[in-house]
Structure 1
Amino acid sequence: MAKEKKKGFFKRLRHKYRLIIFNDNTYEEVISIKLTKLNLLSLVGGSAIILIALVTVLIAFTPIREFIPGYPDGTMRRELIMNAIKLDSLENELRIREQFVENIRDIISGREPRTFEYTPDTAMRVDDIHFTRSEYDSILRTQIEGSEQFSLEVTNDMILAGNPPAAHFLPPTTGLIINRFNPQISHYGVDLVTEINQPVLAVMDGTVTFANWTVETGYVIQVQHDNNYLSLYKHNAELLKRVGEQVSAGEAIAIVGNSGELTTGPHLHFELWQNGSPLNPEHYILF
């Protein structure tokens, strides 16, 4: 009995019908189509699937989706992305500060500073940067030694008791000073504009005490020197040294770049400190 009902159901689905469209005025046959219930269901189902697919594509890949209630508009999405970036930067900044405090603690305690991993800027390959340090360093040293030998006077600002004179500091890079030392506006260094990918050089022998990323000044490297001198190099594109490494005067420690929020173009921000006080680098270095 059940089999007969099943056969009857499928038979009704396959039963043929004819759809005829007449001209209302002349009763002339315009269209005549043979149909079955199965064909009609297939046509309606296929049309529904195609319609749903078209509507989905239209909403997903066109601005029409922004008119759907509850869907975030472009401004809200940009704010969400910016907030996520700022949150990530703040987390990274907090981690860097903790590492810096730990390194200072180790240095004060006489222990060797720990080396922390940092993620370099993948947009630049250090292997593709070519420069010759020895030739540049030898010419620079010759110029400095000659100016020191034949200089008849050195101002009091350039020599402090028990500290090396200005000629013993090497320029951190070649370039033009565009912003000078101005502590009144919290600008505790000088800005040197130069070509991007230029090497950043250590101004004196010392030990790297900080080398990492900061939100405002990008890739920063800090070197501790004798007589409590401290030099900072900011807005670098790449760092070539790690915390705890010994560096020599004129040795490449970074690459000039344009990193960080507080930058307007490729340049090096250089600071020189002693005993916790900022110094005017132009009084100590022959740029």
Structure 2
Amino acid sequence: MAIKNKKKSKLKQKLTDKYRLVVLNEDTFEERFSLKLSRLNAFVLGGVFSILLIAVTTVLIAFTPIKEYIPGYSSTALKIKAAKLTFEAESLKTKLAILENYTKALKPVLTGEIEAESIDSIQTDARQRVIDESKLNASKEDSLFREKVESKDRFPIQNNANSNVKIVFFAPLSGSISQDFDANSKHFAVDIAAITGAPIKAIADGRVIFSGWNTETGYVIILKHTKDFISVYKHNGNLLKQQGDFVKSGEVIASVGSTGELTTGPHLHFELWSGGYAVNPTNFIDFK
């Protein structure tokens, strides 16, 4: 055990013994530079330097053009050129295929399998065909049928409804009336104040005949009902139905908003028309 301890102490002493490296002027023996190092310090510094050298070399190879000088690596310009040549080769293949198909089509004519006279005869027959335009004109029955269809309403709700059935309207929105119907001031509607986003409902069953944007009144939706009634909803925030949709009474069709140039705040501008004339909605609907 004593021998082993002595060997360990000697090894430790060899590693930790410090040596002085001195650089002298040969003529004057003046000390220029000196450095104290042990063998252990030399091994550590050498290892760290080696690791840094490997790391720097790896970075230079991976992220700089130096790698192009290493066998096995291709330059960026070479890759671009290779890709361009690949595209050109594909284009040439396509053109070659077109030429081959064209040659195959001409081959029967060039080899005499199809005579030129037969081709000319086909063209002659095509020129001799005359279309009788009189057969394209509509007959009397077709004209009467077209007039009948065009004269019909696009959304014929009233034609299929019973004229004796009484129509019942429901309030489109719960809220207070901020402006009443006034024909003298040409305000053919009632304005109902409500919070933004409140649901607006259809006053009765009907068909959407318009759903879109207007500069003055914003988002507008118009419904056509039985008995030749039409309801108009203006200044909406969002429209939930499209033109041509059929809606049931009480179904949500839009939301309260403040769109358009003529709006003064979130509200519903509601109009009711009967037979082409504006009527006071309060005479038909209880808004309370």
TM-score, structure 2 normalization: 0.44
Q: TM-score, normalised by structure 1?
A: 0.44
Larger Rg: 1 or 2?
2
